[in-house]
Amino acid sequence: MIPRVGLRGRITGALAIGGLAAAVVLSVITLTITRQVLIANRNQLAEALTFTNAQTVQRTLAGDLEPGSTQAVVDSLNTAEGSRPLISTDGGNSFSLDGSFTLEQVPVSLQTATLEGDAGRIVTSIDDEPFIVYGIPLQGFENVVYFEALPLTGVEDTLITLQFVLLGGGAIVALLASISGIVVANSAVAPLTKVSRAAEAIAGGRLDTRLDTDGDEDLELFAASFNEMAGALEERIQRDARFASEVSHELRSPLMTLTASAEVLDNARDEMPERSQTALDLLVSDITRFRTLVEDLLEISRFDVGAADLQANPLLFPEFVRAAVEIASNRDIEIVVDPDAENAIVFAEKRRLARVVANLLDNAEKYADGATRVHVSCTPDSVLMAVEDDGPGVPKDERFVIFDRFSRGGAGGRRGYDTGVGLGLSLVAEHVNLHNGRVWVEDRPDGEPGARFVVELPLDEGIDGEFA
């Protein structure tokens, strides 16, 4: 399958092909016209010289066709460089310079025409070289013809040289056309690049991004439409975020009342019948879940309205992970820290990173019966924390979706009794992004069943490997 060429490549290729095609057409036209002119000039000179020599032969012979005198006439002719004169007499005798040109080398058609009294010329090959051969019957003699063969190698050499020149010129034209294509393509695609970067910025959360036309009248309408769309999108998202935040705030008061009431009822649960205790357990569970939902919505709304700020400080990452895991889980989870990661320092906010660790451990508890190992490792520029479990794993087509809000993946219902609302991993992604890091899920490297959630954070370059 041939890969699709991008817009820049298509513009550059079109101009390069157009330039090459124009160069080829001009080269063919130039070669054709030059060949015709050179041959025409050569014919004129050759014809003039040949007829002059024929007249000289006719005057000099003066009826004397003795072999010695005839050969002397041929030897005395003033011929051009490379030309070959020949006198053919009645009876098949012929005289030439050093025998370099014989009657057998003259095409039969030209011999027949001259014997009938007509002068003529023909292009033929003699000794594998192109020649133009003239034949002129001599007046006052019967069946006596003067032939002269003039070489065309000079014309062919000139045309070959011209071909190389035109070929080089065509290559230069194609190269210049390609360079022009690159310049034109970059100029034409530059506005699209700006639009792409602006769209990417908006998708990344920078909703105040707008296009600047830089005085380009052709882009003003497009930029205005794009900016209007971006403004409407920003207003809509902010309105939705404010609505979610306000609703969450409004829910906190009745939620506190419900929580307090549930605590009062729970204190008196021993006085309740068994069915009432079961109903109370369900109520307490749902209130707890509801409280978690409201807190998560409030946290997410801060990200949406841009109110989430980072109160960061240098942290010794391995020690922080050990403490966070111990606080967030009642299980005995194996924590492995690579030797080169023991002194890894990150510039981060403890509360947010603690929430990241807690949410990942809680996710493993809900869907995989708990985490089995936490691994801390280092790269030259970042530190990585991986939370592993031995559950069913995450299908490849869900590994990006599960970080979306209210998404628990298509396999969520098959992992166990899930009491979450699908915001835990979304908050993990938000907190990690706020630290200029990234998070993803992959298979376990040992090939065993299970999922491996990896958090990558940049190292604090301002501290040389020691906690301060």
Confidence of residue 465 (pLDDT cuts 50, 70, 90): very low
Q: pLDDT, tens digit, for every residue of 347-393? A: 999 988 999 999 999 989 888 888 999 999 999 999 999 999 998 88
Name 133's Cβ contacts closer than 8 Å, sequence gap at least 6: 106, 107, 110, 121, 122, 123, 124, 126, 147, 148, 149, 150
Q: Kindly state whether residues 386 and 423 are assigned to the same domain.
A: yes
Kindly compute the dihedral angle of the four CA atoms of residues 348, 353, 356, 358, in this order, to the nearest 10 degrees. 170
Q: What is the CATH number of the domain that holds 59?
A: 3.30.450.20
Q: Kindly state whether residues 454 and 338 are assigned to the same domain.
A: yes
Confidence of residue 467 (pLDDT cuts 50, 70, 90): very low
Amino acid at 232: A
Q: In what order do the strands lie in the sheet with 145-151?
A: 94-96, 84-88, 145-151, 129-137, 120-126
Q: Kindly state whether residues 232 and 356 are assigned to the same domain.
A: no
pLDDT of residue 65: 67
Q: What are phi and psi of 301, to 5 degrees?
A: -60, -30
**Would you say residue 103 lies in a domain?**
yes
Length of the chain: 468
**Would you say residue 147 lies in a domain?**
yes
In SS3 terms, 180-197 reads as HHHHHHHHHHHHHHHHHH
Q: Are strands 94-96 and 129-137 parallel, antiparallel or unpaired?
A: unpaired
Compute the average pLDDT of residues 132-153: 82
Task: Report the domain count for the chain.
Answer: 3
| Cα(136)–Cα(287) distance, integer angstroms | 122
| Contact status, residue 391 vs residue 367, Cβ threshold 8 Å | yes
Q: Kindly state whether residues 409 and 326 are assigned to the same domain.
A: yes
Q: pLDDT, tens digit, for every residue of 100-112? A: 788 888 888 888 8
Q: Kindly state whether residues 331 and 299 are assigned to the same domain.
A: no
**Would you say residue 330 lies in a domain?**
yes
Q: Kindly state whether residues 14 and 95 are assigned to the same domain.
A: yes
**Would you say residue 96 lies in a domain?**
yes
Whether 67 shows a pLDDT value over 80: the answer reads no
**Would you say residue 82 lies in a domain?**
yes
Q: Kindly state whether residues 333 and 298 are assigned to the same domain.
A: no
In 3D space, the residue among 248, 291, 332, 308 whose CA is nearest the CA of residue 434 turns out to be 308
In 3D space, the residue among 120, 174, 134, 126 whose CA is nearest the CA of residue 42 turns out to be 134
pLDDT of residue 320: 94
Q: Kindly state whether residues 41 and 123 are assigned to the same domain.
A: yes
pLDDT of residue 307: 58
Q: pLDDT, tens digit, for every residue of 161-196? A: 777 777 787 778 777 877 877 777 777 777 777 777
pLDDT of residue 278: 85
Whether 415 shows a pLDDT value over 50: the answer reads no
Q: What is the CATH number of the domain that holds 282?
A: 1.10.287.130
| Cα(7)–Cα(12) distance, integer angstroms | 9
**Would you say residue 2 lies in a domain?**
no
| Contact status, residue 132 vs residue 150, Cβ threshold 8 Å | yes
Q: Kindly state whether residues 27 and 154 are assigned to the same domain.
A: yes
Q: pLDDT, tens digit, for every residue of 210-236? A: 887 666 676 777 788 888 888 888 787
Name 390's Cβ contacts closer than 8 Å, sequence gap at least 6: 368, 369, 372, 448, 449, 450
What domain range includes position 268?
A: 217-304
Residues forming beta bridges with residue 37, ordered by sequence position: none
Angle at 386 between CA 382 and CA 391, to 5 degrees: 160
Residue 413 DSSP symbol: G
H-helix segments, 305-423: 317-328, 350-368
304, 329, 361: which is the final residue of a domain?
A: 304
**Would you say residue 169 lies in a domain?**
no
Q: Kindly state whether residues 289 and 239 are assigned to the same domain.
A: yes
Q: The pTM is what?
A: 0.49
pLDDT of residue 4: 66
| Cα(290)–Cα(287) distance, integer angstroms | 5
Q: What is the CATH number of the domain that holds 440?
A: 3.30.565.10
**Would you say residue 173 lies in a domain?**
no
Compute the average pLDDT of residues 131-136: 86
pLDDT of residue 451: 92
Q: Kindly state whether residues 340 and 419 are assigned to the same domain.
A: yes
Higher pLDDT, 248 or 113: 113
| Cα(150)–Cα(43) distance, integer angstroms | 9
Q: At what angle do helices 7-61 and 153-203 cross, to 10 degrees?
A: 170
pLDDT of residue 424: 84
H-helix segments, 87-152: 108-115
Compute the average pLDDT of residues 50-56: 79
| Cα(157)–Cα(362) distance, integer angstroms | 87
Residues forming beta bridges with residue 86, ordered by sequence position: 96, 147
Q: Kindly state whether residues 89 and 67 are assigned to the same domain.
A: yes
